[in-house]
Chains A and B, each alone.
Chain A
Amino acid sequence: MKKDIILCGVGGQGILSIATIIGEAATKAGLYLKQAEVHGMSQRGGDVQSNLRLSTEPIWSDLIGEAGADLIISMEPMEAMRYLAYLSRDGKIVTSSKPFVNIPNYPDEEALQKELDTLPSIKLDIETVAKDCGNPRGANMVLLGMAAPIIGILSVENLREAIATVFSRKGEQVVEANLKAFDAGVQAGSK
């Protein structure tokens, strides 16, 4: 079994934390893993993405090919669609519904949402959900929660444990706050 995931968003939205957690869970579960990311100039308010490949068998390429991704997990709705060529015809998009507008020519938001609805996607206002559960900086954990039941090769419980491990050095409170955001995402995603 394998799962190829594209994580994407805008620099600074926290996609690398999601990658770290999935990476931790995959390692603990004994899966093979490759995770490619682009650092440097593209971090600053530009589009960012990470290719995450999980498998029970050895993995060759660090990059996912066209029509190869089982899942696109995106912190931003337009960014989710930037990588459409990489989404498998049987794949799915899990995305934040809320646009991050830092460019003058951002597309018409209504048209964008409509186009997203024509694609195999689930979307959610993850920032509001994160605020509602008292962790406004935990939107990325809400998103991971939404995606958790679909990832398949890892269980929801694998991911919860990984969150606890990754955030443990920041203290019990931070772990709890992130787990709460994650659980809210799981709930909202399964509705």
Chain B
Amino acid sequence: MKKLLLGDEAVALGAINAGLSGVYAYPGTPSTEITEYIQNHPLAKERGVHSRWCTNEKTAMEAALGMSYAGKRALVCMKHVGMNVCADAFVNSAITGVKGGLIVLAADDPSMHSSQNEQDSRFYAKFALVPCLEPSNQQEAYDMMAYGFDLSEKLGEPIVLRVVTRLAHSRAAVEVTEPKAEKLLSPSTDQWVLLPGIARKKYVALLGKQDAMKQASAESPYNKVETSASKTGILTCGIAYNYVKEALGNDANLVKISQYPLPEEKIKALAANCDDLLVIEDGQPVVEELVKGLLGAGYPVKGRLTGDLPRTGELNPDNVAKALGKATGAVFAPAKNMAARPPQLCQGCGHRDVYAALNQVLADYPEHRVFGDIGCYTLGALPPFQSLSSCVDMGASITMAKGAADAGLFPAVAIIGDSTFTHSGMTGLLDAVNDKSNITVIISDNLTTGMTGGQDSAGTNKYEAICLGLGVEPEHVRVVVPLPKNMPEITRVIREEIEYKGVSVIIPRRECIQTFARHARAKKQ
């Protein structure tokens, strides 16, 4: 049966039908729809497949590893930068090995449509010495779930599955197979205690599996060879294959790479038949660098590092066609009457009232800095508010404000959303409390994970208790309702807490207007 699915949905359904027992994830564009699809899928519900959102990617990775330990199939999903958050658990999961199949899905975002960098998750797979699968289309994304779980169990290692935005968020028809049963509970009897003496042995064992991983790549149905008379060989990875096919049709000498470690023999054979190689990969020049080592310094390898393709940003049919020497047709001149239309906070959003109040108070403190964080409220950096001095990574608002305050900066204000606070802000707040840092933390609580579309937030109804538990003084945990009519009260509270020499937390709390409208509609029906 064929079904029209987003790349993310193909991953989700592929996992369910491969006998998935649990998905563990924190929302992050472009990976969010995977977990949402599993949460709403009838069979996953009937089977009781775990799908509740996790507090962050590290808790997700560890819980999935626990499920794998118990013998069942688990999936961890995150956007690429989530790999940084779970890296400790992920890298060590290659050392422990796995029991039930474990797939770590990283959704990369070349061109940074909704991200802070364009790091390439294939590096993580190589770093941890585990295989990586990179589907080129929605069908492969679906098929690779069952394939990946089998491979994971066969090798006893986690598998990275890398998708990019244009696959995650593109729809196509997918041939769907019959669902398989879940694995039964059968906990591992292997040694998983990574004391140094044991870890050394397990690391050697992991290195011992590298040949089997290479063999799997060599035999993989997803690493394909196509031949033509052309003297330029093409190495193309994941969705880049589609852009090559769009430009050249069947007239290409190529190796399509969708499983790593690299299929070295196929690449060497291609190189031997050609004068040079052009590497076309979305993201960073991972393969380009590896292939230079594989073929030696004398062999000409072209790609992003040589300027044949742009060094930054995602691939598209145009930059790939250009690299292949194909001209585009004549285009219309750009429109004269045009202006950028950046995203903005919704009209009526509570974050707007928070920024209005904050800007009003901080106008009296010219030396102030506001350290921002990741979420809808990052848009407070743009006009009309222009309130933020930084936004770096999940949770960095509190810790950067603390460091700046340690250096003597005053007032040092942090603004962080409710979900980001539980994701990675709590530990930093504890540091600030222990140091009695002179910072004002605003937890702008809209009762949801807003930017990714309104998923449950792990700490809802617990924020005051968390702050008190971490040691913030009760008289400096203040709750306000961000509405224009409350402006006098909100500005008074902000002013008082800035003037307090120590850690204070202000929690402006009002539901996200998008989830509010959705809840109202649901009630009506």
Contact = CB atoms under 8 A, between A and B. Distances in A.
B452 interface: yes
Interface string B323-337: 000001111111111
A60 B344 contact: no
Contacts of B346: 44-45
A44 B376 contact: yes
Interface stretch (A62-70, A130-138, A144-152, A180-188): A62-70
Contacts of A87: 331-332
Nearest to A32: B173
B332 A84 contact: yes
B329 A37 contact: no
Interface string A128-170: 0000000000000000000000000000000000000000000
A27 to B, nearest CB: 5
Question: At the interface, is chain B mostly helix, strand, loop or mixed?
Answer: loop
A39 B28 CA distance: 11
Given A62-B239, A62-B242, A89-B332, A40 B342 contact: no
Contact of A89 (B239, B245, B330): B330
B113 interface: yes
B333 A84 contact: yes
A60 B29 CA distance: 24
B367 to A, nearest CB: 29
A65 B318 CA distance: 6
B165 A107 contact: no
A78 B32 CA distance: 31
B508 interface: no
A37 B169 CA distance: 6
B333 A115 contact: no
Interface residues of A, number: 53
Contacts of B33: 39
B318 A66 contact: yes
Contact of A65 (B245, B317, B330): B317
Nearest to B241: A60
A14 B330 CA distance: 31
Contacts of A10: 341
Interface in B172-188: 172-173
Contacts of A18: none
Contact of B166 (A36, A41, A88): A36
Contacts, number: 156
Contacts of B339: 78, 103, 105-107
A119 B338 CA distance: 15
Contacts of A82: 335, 338
Given A61-B243, A66-B331, A67-B331, A112 B337 contact: yes
Contacts of B334: 84-85
B215 interface: no
A77 to B, nearest CB: 9
Contacts of A81: 335, 337-338
Nearest to A79: B341
Nearest to A35: B171
B389 interface: no
B74 to A, nearest CB: 25
A43 interface: yes
B92 to A, nearest CB: 30
Contacts of B337: 78, 81, 107-108, 111-112, 115
A86 B329 CA distance: 10
A67 B328 contact: yes
Contacts of B376: 44
A103 B172 CA distance: 35
Interface string A94-112: 0000000011111110011
Contacts of A107: 337-339
Interface string A7-34: 0001100000000000110010000111
Contact of B29 (A40, A45, A88): A40
B94 to A, nearest CB: 30
Contact of A67 (B29, B329, B336): B329
Nearest to B343: A46
Nearest to A110: B337
A65 B244 CA distance: 12
Given A23-B171, A39-B30, A46-B342, A115 B330 contact: no
Given A84-B332, A111-B337, A64 B114 contact: no
B173 A33 contact: yes
Interface string B62-91: 000000000000000000000000000000
B117 interface: no
B321 interface: yes
A65 B243 CA distance: 10
A42 interface: yes
A62 B168 CA distance: 11
B219 interface: no
Interface in B9-40: 29-30, 32-33
A87 B330 CA distance: 10
A1 interface: no
A44 B344 contact: yes
A11 B343 contact: yes
B9 to A, nearest CB: 12
Nearest to A81: B335
Contact of B169 (A36, A46, A84, A105): A36
Interface in B330-377: 330-346, 376
Nearest to B245: A60
B168 to A, nearest CB: 9
A105 B173 CA distance: 41
B112 to A, nearest CB: 10
Nearest to B28: A40
Contacts of B328: 65-67
Interface of B: 2, 4, 29-30, 32-33, 113-114, 165-167, 169-173, 239, 242-243, 245-246, 316-318, 321, 328-346, 376, 379, 383, 451-453
14 contacts: A37-B169, A41-B451, A42-B114, A62-B167, A63-B243, A65-B328, A66-B317, A67-B328, A67-B331, A84-B331, A84-B335, A89-B331, A103-B339, A103-B342
Closest 7 CB pairs of A and B: A40-B29, A46-B343, A81-B335, A65-B317, A40-B114, A107-B337, A67-B329
Given A35-B172, A37-B171, 18 more contacts: A36-B170, A36-B171, A39-B29, A41-B113, A44-B344, A44-B345, A47-B341, A59-B172, A63-B243, A65-B328, A66-B328, A68-B317, A78-B339, A84-B332, A85-B334, A103-B340, A111-B337, A119-B332
